[in-house]
Chain A
Amino acid sequence: MQITSEALERAVEQLAKLPGTGRKSARRIAMYLLKQNKEAVFELADALKELKTSVIRCSQCGTVSDTDPCRICGSPKRSAHQICVVEEFQDVYFIEKTNEFRGRYHVLGGVISPMENIGPDNIRIKELIERVGESGEEIREVILALNPDAEGEATAYYIHKLLKPFDVEVTRIAYGIPMGSDLEYIDEATLSRAFASRNAI
């Protein structure tokens, strides 16, 4: 087989590294870009470059941001009494979309997982404890919004234990039944969890 363009092959190779793209779809995207006008493609290339040059981590909460502190940590409208602990920065985006939470965040950047050589020192647990300690009594509640899997629960347990000496309430988001779904179709494990964390009405 004869390759007619090294540049095209290089683009395909790079695109194929993206999550969810195999070689076939990488080639389709490359061909599509090739047919676009120059400005559109350069715009995309600039946006990608910008992603690595302008985006920084907020020194307080650890989320991705263009500013430090980020717009959430810097906003006077956000309550300083509540901190919501999440695993990754995309979780901030999901919780923000609900418009329900008016406090601030703390992004751990992972969860404890010995199998992947991630211990408590490899994620931002120490920073969280310092944040709570340094705030005096300003932080009143730490909300753990971690996944309900083995690693998420181990991390929640570990953090909860470290926060015990402080005068702060530690809570965890409820496990429950997705909105709009029928009880009939909920698996037994979720349903029994939801039962265990039932509320008074």
Chain B
Amino acid sequence: MHITRLSTHHFRNHRARDVTWSPHLNLITGPNGAGKTNLMDAVHYLCMSRSFVSSSDRYVVSEGESEFRIDGDFKGEIRSEFRVSCLYSRGEGKRIFVNDSPLDRISDLIGMVPVVVLSPEDRKLTAEGPSERRSFLDGLISQISSKYLHSLMKYRRIRKQRNRLLQEFEGSSQQLRSLLEPWDVQLVEEGSNIVARRYEVLSAFRQFLVDQFKALYEIDLQPDLTYQTFCEPGEDVAQIQQQYEKVLASSREKEFERGTTLVGPHRDEVVFYLGEMELRNYGSQGQHRLFSVALKLAQLFYYSNLLEDDPIMLLDDVFGNLDRQKTTILLDTLQKHPGQILITSASEAPFRELSATPGSELLWYRLEDGELIEK
């Protein structure tokens, strides 16, 4: 799957209206602040319906404007050609159109064009709290399973309703228990689906991570990950449900006291290791950086191994932070990916020796003063 044309209107400070892309390697170089990331983010919007930089759509609208629009033409194996449009206005919010017909749910977009992003934001992935890793995991699975995404959204809703009861209910704990029951049943059902799927995907993903990290890091340290949840995870949903019910029942008093749901996949954690060492607490800056690169490359190859259509890979401002040797390894690895790659960089140096290999096109743009010029 690849994007052939992108056009934006009132999207951040991006002025170049119409951009055509190569199905393989695309480079955008230019000074910092020229708007390279905006181009990447516009493509990301058309794949994931949101920004990978800003937390809210509001911040993405050009200053002084009240709406933005992004259109992209895509070409793939399963669907030959189609157009995705994302419209946002302050009053009406966000709407997504595929071939000019609106999607009932924005979430229906997810997975249509699989995408992997590597950006400086990924520093958080290995260094910060568990919610960063949960959202990586959710993004990883949602793009390959709409059922997972559906479970996730339903679980979130059930948990909100349940939390509200736990917070606000004034009555006997017996009454509260009978009011909670219809939510508990659903919490266990959807929550267990989520845990089983996370376990299943991580078990397969792990090997991709190991391979990618080992290719990048010359020191012999075995990378690893473990998935931690409220029980011993596995693929057997019925067994997880049983455990879930048990743990939920034993946490009831505590939940009444704290007024919030204490057991479930919303508290899951994925722990990354290098050898015996827990990366989050003991990894060096360089190790963190390489680990997040390996995670995203693993995601890329996990997808292309699994899906008919190759995902689009976005690398935003990544090369400035890598030494020469790592840069070479990364570029070599990327050239093995048959799908589309979009790279932004302030420096041109890493790409000087890069040339189009037979059968793969290379398109190089320079972005300066808002103008995109083919190099």
A194 to B154, CA, bound (A): 17
Cβ-neighbour of A188 out of B145, B161, B162, B181 (below 8 A): B145
Cβ-neighbour of B160 out of A115, A157, A158, A189 (below 8 A): A115
Cβ-neighbour of B164 out of A114, A150, A192 (below 8 A): A114
Query: Are A150 and B147 interface neighbours, CB within 8 A?
Result: no
Query: Are B179 and A120 interface neighbours, CB within 8 A?
Result: yes
Query: Are B164 and A112 interface neighbours, CB within 8 A?
Result: no
Query: Are B147 and A153 interface neighbours, CB within 8 A?
Result: no
Interface range on chain A (Cβ under 8 Å from partner) = 20 to 34
Q: Name the residue of chain A whose CB is nearest to the CB of B156.
A: A150
Contacts of B161 in A (CB 8 A): 113-115, 150-151, 154
Contact mask for chain B residues 95-119; partner A; CB cutoff 8 A; 1 contact, 0 none: 0000000000000100000000000
Query: Are B168 and A114 interface neighbours, CB within 8 A?
Result: yes
A157 to B183, CA, bound (A): 9
The reply to whether the CB of A119 lies closer than 8 angstroms to some CB of chain B is yes
Report the minimal beta-carbon distance from B157 to chain A, rounded to whole angstroms. Answer: 5
A110 to B147, CA, bound (A): 27
Q: Is the interface of B mostly helix, strand, loop or mixed?
A: helix
A-B CB contacts (within 8 Å), total count: 53
Query: Are B108 and A157 interface neighbours, CB within 8 A?
Result: no
Q: Name the residue of chain B whose CB is nearest to the CB of A184.
A: B78
Query: Are B157 and A150 interface neighbours, CB within 8 A?
Result: yes
Within residues 166 to 201 of chain A, which ones have a CB less than 8 A from any CB in chain B?
187-189, 192
Contact mask for chain B residues 170-206; partner A; CB cutoff 8 A; 1 contact, 0 none: 0000000001011101100000000000000000000
Contacts of B151 in A (CB 8 A): 189
Q: Name the residue of chain A whose CB is nearest to the CB of B165.
A: A114
Contacts of B181 in A (CB 8 A): 157-158, 161
Q: How many residues of B contact A (CB 8 A)?
A: 22
Contact mask for chain A residues 5-33; partner B; CB cutoff 8 A; 1 contact, 0 none: 00000000000000000000000000000
Query: Are A189 and B168 interface neighbours, CB within 8 A?
Result: no
Query: Are B165 and A187 interface neighbours, CB within 8 A?
Result: no
Q: Name the residue of chain B whose CB is nearest to the CB of A22.
A: B91
Report the minimal beta-carbon distance from A181 to chain B, rounded to whole angstroms. Answer: 13
Report the minimal beta-carbon distance from A161 to chain B, rounded to whole angstroms. Answer: 7
Query: Are B179 and A188 interface neighbours, CB within 8 A?
Result: no
Which residues does A use to contact B, with CB under 8 Å? Answer: 112-115, 117, 119-120, 149-151, 153-155, 157-158, 161, 187-189, 192
Q: 7 tightest A-B contacts by CB?
A: A154-B182, A189-B150, A157-B182, A114-B164, A188-B147, A188-B146, A114-B165
- Could you pull out 26 A-B pairs where Cβ atoms are within 8 angstroms? A112-B182, A114-B165, A115-B160, A115-B161, A117-B168, A120-B179, A149-B154, A149-B157, A150-B154, A150-B157, A151-B161, A154-B161, A154-B186, A157-B181, A157-B182, A158-B181, A158-B182, A161-B181, A161-B182, A187-B108, A187-B147, A187-B150, A188-B146, A189-B146, A189-B150, A189-B151
